Amino acid sequence: MSIPAVWPIVAPGFFPVHDDAQAARVQQMYVALRGGQFPVRWVPDLGYGYGYPIFNFYNPLPYYFGAGFMFIGFNVLTATKLMYVFPVFLSGITMFIFSRLVLSNAASALAGILYVYAPYHAVQIYVRGSVAEYWAYAILPLVFYALWKRKIIIGSLSLAALILSHNLTAFMSIPFVVLLFFISFRHCEERSDAAISKSKTELPYSLLIFVVTIALGIGLSVFFWLPATIEIGKTQVSQMVFEKFDPPSKHVAYPLQLWSGVWGYGGSSPGIDDGLSFQVGKIHLIGSLTAFLIYLGYILKKITNHSSLFSLSNLFNHFNHLIFFSIVGLVFSIFMLLPPSRPIWDAFPVLSYIQFPWRFLTFASLFSSLLTAWAIDAFAIRNSRPVIRYSLLTAYCLLLTAYSLPFFQPKFKFPITVDQLISREKLIWDYSKISDEYLPKGFAPPVNAEVALRIDNQQNKLLVDELKALTPVRQTANLISLFSVLTFITFIIVISIKKHGQNISG
């Protein structure tokens, strides 16, 4: 069911997006890895030919994935397309896994399709070309699943992958993770089946597992995020964020934009006349509202039938905790991208690095997909016979796909060869212009391609070499990540031995 969403990528030709340097980054990652650099921080040809520390600051995981295909013989165009396609499929799978915590297989499959075909997902893929963000989009449901279930191995790996895919999405997920811990702890505490021992429902144990999972995830990815955080002041990023860009509060979305709007391939601008869409999706919004009303009706019914439920504590005990988490998460996500959130964006300067409040549409898409599937399940799937259930599921998925396909199209496509895609001039001039904010302070960008191709500015060379030099921060970060890898392997060995011992005893 996800194939139509990626068919324009797979088909011959290429298409323009806001961030058109994706193929160049895959190729440069391959060149750096082939030269023996790991972890890759520096690429040789970007930065107007002087070299560029892009993977010291910009999330590397998607490009490791793409470059891997070049090592087994694929050209850069095919490798880039595979890097584009993989997270789209993955997003449906991870959403299915997360939804299975509360939904049937049929309804979880529907949730996965809703997540794949959320309008903002199409914006990420075909308008903005924000590969890092929609890799994070694909990984996020798995992070929530693992933290909810207190799975250390899956949780730490998925959290590390989220940080290495898009650290801003990881940063934005902090309030959701905190909320998830408290709600999931309450859920675990109230379960009475024999599969969960009493010790595992106690707060100290639950908190320990949660902290260990997050600490391991942060440790596995520290080789990237620690230098990116500490050394960002050596680059032009802060100047760009605080001087050249509008503050995030000027890029909030408006309620009408969440419902509809002209589908465009332009950029974000202050006010309501943006060049791209910020739709949550009509189906997603109607489904989420329906889910809220069903949930409210369920709670009111409990109150009517049990007078003791007028106690807030007792009332909470009868919540479906994951649906409650999704409702609160959706409300918070939508709040953070609408005008009433402006005081928050203005009060915390660190939020300026997020740049666009509408990035919270990632979380709105996730929660609205689960809630919509839950509502449809309650109405039409849950109590029907298997034949009817899967017939309805198939019909919903086909209709959703047909409705969403107009969004999952590029502005236009054009034929291109590998030589045209990755030429020396394109690397040194065209692609370098797209992303040059990680160049050192004081770097003088060339005025045109002819000047750029000479690469003869000695002051630029000195500045770049200074930024390129190995630092204690990078060395320390590498060592911490290595220690985290060894700790992670130890966890796997201990868990395997424990399970093996239990099997022998059995």
Residue 77 inside a domain? The answer is yes
Give which of 29, 48, 27 is closest to 37, Cα–Cα: 29
Mean pLDDT lowest among 145-154, 212-221, 255-264: 255-264
Q: Which residues pair with 363 in a beta bridge?
A: none
Whole-number pLDDT of residue 7:
95
Residues 6+ apart with CB under 8 A from 203: 185
Owner of token pair 């979880």? 108
Q: Is the pLDDT of residue 84 over 50?
A: yes
243-248: which pairs have CB atoms within 8 A and are 24 or more residues apart? 245/352, 245/355, 246/270, 247/345, 247/346, 247/352, 248/345, 248/351, 248/352, 248/354, 248/355, 248/356, 248/357
Model pLDDT, residue 123: 96
Given a cut of 80, whether residue 201 has pLDDT beyond it is: no
Q: Other C-beta atoms within 10 Å of 298: how many?
A: 15
Write out pLDDT tens, residues 419-477. Answer: 889 999 999 999 998 888 999 998 999 999 999 899 889 999 999 999 998 999 999 99
- Give the pLDDT score at 198: 47
Q: What is the DSSP letter of 14?
A: B
Is 432 inside any structural domain? no
What are 214-245's pLDDT values in tens digits? 999 999 999 999 999 999 989 988 877 776 77
Which CB contacts under 8 angstroms, 24+ apart, belong to 187-192?
187/148, 187/321, 187/322, 188/150, 190/317
Whether the predicted pLDDT of 310 surpasses 60: no
- Tell me: pLDDT of 340 over 80: yes
How far separated are the first and last CA of the chain, in Å rounded?
42
Q: Indicate whether 92 belongs to any domain.
A: yes
% of the chain at pLDDT higher than 90: 65
Residue 421: CB atoms within 10 A of its CB come to 16
Cα–Cα distance for residue pair 58/37, rounded to 1 Å? 16
**The pTM of the whole model exceeds 0.85:** yes
Whether 463 is covered by a domain: the verdict is no
Instruction: Please tell me the predicted confidence (pLDDT) of residue 316.
Output: 43
Q: Which residues pair with 442 in a beta bridge?
A: none
82: pLDDT strictly greater than 90: yes
Place 381 in a pLDDT band, splitting at 50, 70 and 90. Answer: low
pLDDT at site 202: 61
Distance in angstroms (rounded) separating the CA atoms of residues 287 and 293: 10
Beta strands, E only, 279-383: none
Range of the domain at 87: 3-416+472-497
CB 231 within 8 A of CB 472: no
* CB of 459 closer than 8 Å to CB of 441: no
64-78: pLDDT as tens digits? 999 999 999 999 999
Q: Is residue 99 part of a domain?
A: yes
| Partner residues linked to 388 by β-bridges | none
pLDDT above 60 for 209: yes
pLDDT at res. 384: 65
420, amino acid identity:
Q
> Among 359, 354, 298, which Cα is nearest to 334's?
359
Helices of type H across 337-408:
342-347, 361-376, 386-404
| 118 domain residue, yes or no | yes
Q: Indicate whether 34 pLDDT > 80.
A: yes
Q: At 383, is the secondary structure helix, strand, or coil?
A: coil
* Distance, CA of 295 to CA of 102 (rounded, Å): 13
Within a domain: 111: yes
Tell me the average pLDDT across 167-192: 81
Computed over every residue of the chain, the mean pLDDT equals 88
Please report the pLDDT score of residue 500 as a whole number. 67
CA 274 to chain centre: 23
Label residue 323 by pLDDT band (50, 70, 90): very high
Taking the C-alpha atoms of residue 273 and residue 456, their distance in angstroms, rounded to an integer, is 43
Residue 42 — very low, low, confident or very high, per pLDDT cuts 50/70/90?
Answer: very high
Whether 47 maps to a domain, the answer reads yes
Q: Tally the domains of the chain.
A: 1
Residue in the block written with tokens 């070049």: 70
Find tokens 């990237």 and name the residue. Answer: 224
Please report the pLDDT score of residue 380 as a whole number. Answer: 66
